[in-house]
A and B are shown apart, each in its own frame.
Chain A
């Protein structure tokens, strides 16, 4: 038995690096400091039902087992034959693999795009428009006395975020609200149980306390850290918050603009904005100005609700305005564990964070034109390579149709609708479990991913698979006299 400490979790952008994993005979038998999500992953990652374990190539319409060498050669042929291939995915692999991917895209004159194109793409465009005042998560842990999650439910999607970096963490200038948290959590669970029981008995829901009202509660004046959640529905995170503001769906922009006015000491002439009383917003604005260090975390709820780019522009502008009055930072809640790394590597090598087109021999960037979904929707790509991602489930229908009708290569540890539709499937090792490398946390702090166990036979790392494909591609191109 071997306990491996300081393990970085390969799941969400919280990128907790304090996990302790117990390995016995190349099998993970226990994992500590996990959350429900990572626990499930560490206990199930090796389940052969979900894994790709042999290289497959489609012959006569059917995926057949083949040798690794054959699958790699076939992939290289597809890419060399294509005139405008797309390389997509990259948020669940290592920076080393991403780097190999950029080189491959450059060599074949293709497009490399990552999943931020369909999640925080608007946030990135917004940063390119106006910039961003931000910080690392430790800065928030030590200093923030006002924490706002907007359209983000960390309790469910980034379970350890609050405990490690925000409301319930301990900092030099800010003490933990852990005790309050536990008490509140007990209360909520108690009520849940009650409501569950009442549901069963009475077939109707028990009342939960109304949090959202016309005024902030008086106890809000105390000097402890405050946690505010803004969302369209009362999430689990909202229940833990000191205060919950329910915004009408697709009205985030109006709400942010109203706050901007109030922060600049201007008047808002109506009684309500986005379903929220203005008297309450005035209190919130005062709290924002009055804090020593505030932070606004926002989720894809904000980037994907109507207004998209506009919402983020407004949220960043609000944060900028607040910096004239106090210290305030803003941060997107990045989902996949290395989606930040995909943007970062792409930027230092090509100048651009995603949607990079090499068809002219140099990097070109024009999201909306050079992004994967748009290229596929226009039916311009004639082959694709997907790394650790499932666009068949996530892309719009038209894009998927065009994706699967052309040659499709999938590199993935797990079986997915995309691997099922692929023409070549290359089984790979799980980064952070079976393969090491670097990943970047949502605040762009680099962390080492560890190799904890050996991958199954036939499963190479993404990096090695890509390097081998690149090698074949170069050879093929030389043979055919294209260089």
Chain B
């Protein structure tokens, strides 16, 4: 029996309605327990205790991420990590090597991270990298919004067949949730084209993005998936796209069950652009926030911009091609048969650039205008809007008007004059930060043992050097940033892995995947599937499947499908 007691900290556990109360947290065998005696004690007095951070959207592993690493040696030269007796070495600012990724998240007090885009054909690659990402618990979402099997079943309105296929894909790729990127558009990109809006039919497939979104939303419900559908909208990154975003949210409004969320819009900042072109470009955050405030079926994450040199990488091939055209930077495109595309372009976000400055305000405006913190989560869509190591800065911006004003002073003048942001006074509380960076994300992911510190929860804990009684945090954003950059302690599954911002121990994290239990007739599709499969793919059916033992610590989440 391994025990640990975190004593006298100010605990923020929003799921259990604990907001800064001074209390002890007892840990036994990697879980939170009622009480524990005769064990190690961490004196957390004067410090903030939260569940370990959860990130539902961060590109940390797999084929596309690795192509980004390959593409950018200049990203690595100046940012290196030496080998220590407990850690492996590594490099990388915006696309760190795998070991470094795990350590850097842990240093900030984050313990669960989801990679949001895996091409099923390359699932094995994603898992091999996740295996090499220490400390973190993790998972990955297979890309399904332009998948031929999905498009064909949905076109024929065969929702059960689509569901059976999706259940199979989760098992075959050890995937966690249904991901849609520019639904239908990536198939069109196979011939260098795109779809214009959510009602523009996909070439050769006679189905619209709207039908794909609705269809997969139904499938998600049929399978009782732990997470909602996870959507990167059509037209992402284009002026005026906020209307498509509203259409996307509305398209599944009637499919919602008892007011429960049924769609997650990811890195919404990139999908909240108003204006007709780059000159008339402005924020569409008000319209989006209004819709989200008035409805219960949507959650979103920010994709908050930070002003830095980073690497954009998405499955959205046509969007990446536009970025390449705009910047003239180096460009990787990689289309994957039957399933998806992807692209990579290095990118510099500049304060003095009008568009970038507006983008910076859009993310914060979304976070500050959406009233319920359970609906909007902090991400940078790592590394698209900036590396995940910028989270402490974003936390400081949300908690401190002063911090925002300091940046405001330095951005493009026209952007400053037009932006809504300066008119917003709201400042997040530590409790709201705990929701937006852990509790809310764990909840929408359906990870029952994460994001809280109640009995039976996983003992993943972050302790920050913040005394909420003493400091007026809003007037001291630097202190916030410092505390969240270097956790006083990070505890993963009951073990101390970080002390004073340094890794003290490296442990193996688990990989979650969704194992759908449903009626046998639904799940016995393999022979039929196999026949079509071998016509479609250049690999054999058997060789496509990722066996459970390929994951160094597989953790299937079993759900009961309703078909």
**Chain A interface (Cβ < 8 Å from any Cβ of B):** 5-6, 8, 17-18, 95, 99, 103, 106, 124, 127-139, 141-143, 164-165, 172-173, 292-293, 320, 323, 326-327, 329, 343-345, 347-353, 358, 360-363, 365, 438, 440, 444-448, 483
Contacts and interface: CB of A to CB of B under 8 A. Distances in A.
A362 B81 contact: yes
Contacts of A164: 538
A375 to B, nearest CB: 18
Nearest to B124: A446
A210 B81 CA distance: 60
Contacts of B334: 134-136, 444
Given A131-B331, A363-B91, A139 B336 contact: yes
Contacts of B96: 351
B-side interface mostly: mixed
Given A17-B539, A352-B76, A361 B83 contact: yes
Contacts of B332: 127, 131-134
Interface-central residue, A132, A164, A320, A446, by most chain B CB under 10 Å: A446
Contacts of B69: 347-348, 351
Interface in B71-90: 71-73, 76, 80-83, 85, 88-90
A133 B132 CA distance: 28
Contacts of A445: 121-122, 538-539
B191 A327 contact: yes
Contact of A444 (B76, B122, B129, B536): B122
Interface of chain A: mostly helix, strand, loop or mixed = mixed
Given A173-B204, A446-B128, A292 B336 contact: no
Contacts of A345: 128
B183 to A, nearest CB: 19
21 contacts: A6-B541, A103-B88, A128-B70, A131-B330, A135-B336, A137-B337, A139-B336, A293-B191, A323-B192, A343-B70, A344-B125, A345-B128, A348-B69, A349-B88, A349-B132, A350-B89, A350-B91, A352-B76, A352-B91, A444-B122, A445-B122
Interface string B531-542: 000001111111
A76 B180 CA distance: 50
Nearest to B131: A99
Nearest to B97: A351
Contact of B543 (A6, A133, A139, A323): A6
Nearest to B541: A6
Interface in B173-198: 190-192
B483 interface: no
Contacts of B337: 135-139, 141-142
B172 to A, nearest CB: 13
B540 A351 contact: no
Contacts of A132: 332-333
Given A363-B89, A363-B91, A327 B190 contact: yes
A9 B201 CA distance: 41
A365 B74 CA distance: 10
A348 B98 contact: yes
Contacts of A329: 333, 335
Most buried by A among B76, B99, B536, B543: B543
A138 B537 contact: yes
Given A130-B330, A362-B90, A138 B80 contact: no
Nearest to A140: B337
Nearest to B192: A327
A133 B330 CA distance: 10
B73 A444 contact: no
Nearest to A444: B63
B91 A136 contact: no
A127 B71 contact: yes
B541 to A, nearest CB: 8
B503 interface: no
B309 to A, nearest CB: 16
Nearest to B540: A6
A440 B539 CA distance: 12
Contact of A362 (B66, B89, B336, B541): B89
Contacts of B116: none
B47 to A, nearest CB: 32
A472 B459 CA distance: 36
Given A6-B542, A445-B121, A129 B91 contact: no
